[in-house]
Chain A
């Protein structure tokens, strides 16, 4: 269902879902991101990798304005991010985000975590929101935990809830900021499986991760960032088998 909807959208207009043009960002004097250009088409899956401190998290956090950029343009689904708070809220409602540390709301039940956005932002009636929430919980295979609180769940379960929470907003794009980095090894797979399923259904995704296996099997494009720049981008096969840039080669030799 989601697939066909997205397809018609793509056919209707070949406009990218996300367009970043000559974007720069500074923390004080420190130039974290420089000259970023990126277009993401609908249904595209992009994996961003790179050494720590290279700016990859900062880049995706700019896309929903958790971080402010100082120069250049970021256009999400036709809306340009500026200081206009209404635009920012609109973009945020269309962009789902999954964090390294889950960031579930500990004082709300799992179900309430999921329905909060739809009820308050989308103004969905409560009953409808709860039905949708249960559907997404089933999808991430955690429906039986709906009445529990986040603190009672394991890390892997919490992260799956966090994914379901984003999905409840029917996002155009999903951003994943190192979604498996805070998990115990035996829980990584359950989260990656959910993400793979999501990718197969045609969700547009940008994933910052160190899981190269995931990158190889799911990504349409792999971006390598270093020192605030996109150094290299290519299809996964070309990227891993035949890296062009010295810095990429060095990075790959360190992690593989």
Chain B
């Protein structure tokens, strides 16, 4: 189409004021008098804020000193992190056994990274996950191969946060999808149960669920029967997250054109096949952005388990700060924690964007 017929028309370049750095500055930052004023004001504010921040964080700061040395400086005392890193990350895990949670976390993150590529989503990957979960469980709990038993009450720090959030998300997601399908079911009993469940759970805060799981729930158990506290918290997180996932997925199901159901029906596919092969792959893809939103907040909400005396990575940091040597350096500790959470959350959200792109077909 480049030649003969169309060659006649002259191709013009865009006007120079609209392109390049100057063009961009002109159209975006200095296009009106009030935008110019705002630009100058914001630049001034940044100039006033950033140098002291850099001075505090990088120039006047100490990175690996004793607590004593930190008393004499004005800058940040980052030393709190390396000095307490073991406790912040691993909490009360018995000393001498630290390699076990570390190895378990490496296995988890390794397989997560390996699973990134859609082309690797095959049956073998499911088996790898199953084996990995068993190995991780064995590493953490022990009891065989000469590994001493470490009760879940001693799991703390990052391994606990990752356990709660990983299993929380992975179990809540399919459960939420089932609830969404249930809520749209034509069978009144299933529909009612799903609606009641979703609305009840969404009507209470996660904190109250955690309290119920840790305080009220044991009262209903027969004497002598105890259910692991971490497991109870995990179940509370799963129940809570699933209700939110369900509503998001339902939104996706409602967005599916009726023609897709009809085309599937007219081929003779049954309900399960229609959902699994046609509807869910499309509906779940549509709702990736809000789903990731929910998974991110579920990840961050695991820190609420501090109120039932589980020592996740937030709580171990707080414990560190209660050490008289290191009190007063909470800014540094919380900045570190914020960065840690940010890394995980940012990884999740940028992966979701990649997934959306990979799953995009056509147009």
The answer to the question of A151 belonging to the interface, with a C-beta cut-off of 8 Å to chain B, is yes
Q: Which residue of B lies closest to A105 (CB)?
A: B278
Q: Is the CB of B268 within 8 A of A121?
A: yes
Whether A107 contacts B281 by the Cβ 8 Å rule is yes
Q: Which residues on A are within 8 Å of B, measured CB to CB?
A: 64-66, 85, 89-90, 92-93, 95-97, 99, 101, 103-108, 116-117, 120-121, 148-152, 165-166, 169
Question: Residue of A at shortest CB range from B273?
Answer: A120
Q: Considering the chains assembled together, what is the distance between the CA atoms of A169 and B257 in angstroms?
A: 23
Contact, CB under 8 Å: B361 / A66 = no
A-B contact pairs, 28 of them (CB 8 A): A64-B266, A65-B265, A89-B270, A92-B266, A93-B267, A95-B266, A97-B262, A101-B259, A103-B257, A103-B260, A105-B264, A105-B278, A105-B282, A106-B361, A106-B362, A107-B281, A107-B282, A107-B359, A107-B361, A116-B269, A117-B268, A117-B269, A120-B273, A121-B268, A150-B362, A151-B363, A166-B266, A169-B267
B269 in contact with A120 (CB, 8 Å): yes
Please measure, in the bound complex, the distance between the C-alpha atom of A93 and the C-alpha atom of B362, giving whole angstroms. 28
The distance in angstroms between the C-alpha atoms of A250 and B260, with both chains bound, is: 36
When C-beta atoms are compared, the residue in chain A nearest to B270 turns out to be A89
B285 within 8 A of A: yes
Please state if A152 and B267 are interface contacts (CB–CB under 8 Å): no
Residues of chain B lying within 8 A (CB to CB) of residue A169? 267-268
Q: Which residues of B contact A (CB under 8 A)?
A: 257, 259-260, 262-270, 273, 277-278, 281-282, 285, 359, 361-363
CB neighbours (8 Å) of A149 from chain B are 361-362
Q: How far is the CA of A104 from the CA of B257 in the complex (A)?
A: 11
Cβ B282 vs Cβ A117 within 8 A: no
**B259 near A92: Cβ-Cβ < 8 Å:** no
Please measure, in the bound complex, the distance between the C-alpha atom of A90 and the C-alpha atom of B269, giving whole angstroms. 10
Give bound CA distance, A151 to B263, whole Å: 16
- Give every chain A residue within 8 A of B260 (Cβ-Cβ): 103, 105
Are A92 and B362 in contact (CB-based, < 8 A)? no
Q: Please tell me if the beta carbons of B259 and A106 are within 8 angstroms of each other in the complex.
A: no
Contact: A66 with B262, CB < 8 Å? yes
CA distance A217 to B270 in the complex (A): 37
B269 touches A152 (CB 8 A): no
Q: How far, in angstroms, from A150 to B260 measured CA to CA in the complex? A: 13
A101 to B266, CA, bound (A): 14
Is B277's CB under 8 angstroms from A120's CB?
A: yes
CB-based nearest B residue for A98: B266
Taking CB atoms, residues of chain B closer than 8 Å to A120 are: 269, 273, 277
CB neighbours (8 Å) of A65 from chain B are 265
CB distance from B40 to the nearest CB of A (A): 47
Q: Quick check: B262 and A103 within 8 Å, CB to CB?
A: yes
Q: Are A152 and B278 in contact (CB under 8 A)?
A: no
Minimum Cβ distance to chain B for residue A212 (Å): 26
Min CB distance A165 to B, Å, is: 8
Residues from chain A with a CB closer than 8 A to the CB of B285 are: 107
Closest Cβ neighbor of A64 among chain B residues: B266
Inside 8 A of A97's CB, which chain B residues have their CB?
A: 262-263, 266
Chain A residues with CB under 8 A of B263: 97, 99, 103-105
Tell me the minimal C-beta distance from B158 to chain A in angstroms: 37
User: Could you list 17 further interchain pairs (A-B, Cβ under 8 angstroms) beyond the known A105-B278, A117-B268, A152-B362?
Assistant: A66-B266, A89-B268, A89-B270, A92-B265, A93-B268, A96-B266, A97-B266, A99-B259, A99-B263, A101-B259, A103-B257, A107-B285, A120-B277, A121-B267, A149-B362, A151-B363, A152-B363
CB distance from B270 to the nearest CB of A (A): 6
Contact of A121 among B257, B269, B281 (CB under 8 A): B269
Docked-complex contact A103 and B259, CB < 8 angstroms: yes
**B259's closest neighbor in chain A, by CB?**
A103
**What residues on A are CB-neighbors of B278 within 8 Å?**
105
B363 / chain A contacts, CB cutoff of 8 Å: 151-152
Min C-beta distance of B322 to chain A, whole Å: 53
Residues of chain A within 8 A (CB-CB) of B266 are 64, 66, 92, 95-97, 166
CA gap between A92 and B269 in the complex, in Å: 9
Q: Which residues of A contact B361 (CB under 8 A)?
A: 106-108, 149, 151
The 7 closest A-B pairs by CB, nearest first: A151-B362, A93-B268, A103-B263, A103-B259, A117-B267, A149-B362, A97-B266
CB-CB nearest in chain A for B264: A105
- Closest residue to A122 on the B side, CB-wise? B268
Chain B residues in 8 Å Cβ range of A95: 266
Chain B residue nearest in CB terms to A100: B259
In the complex, residue of chain A having the shortest beta-carbon distance to the beta carbon of B266: A97
CB–CB A92/B282 < 8 A: no
Contact at A90–B268, with CB atoms within 8 Å? Answer: yes
Q: How far is the CA of A103 from the CA of B363 in the complex (A)?
A: 15
Most A CB contacts (10 A, CB to CB) among B263, B282, B285 go to B263
Determine the residue in chain B with the shortest Cβ distance to A97.
B266
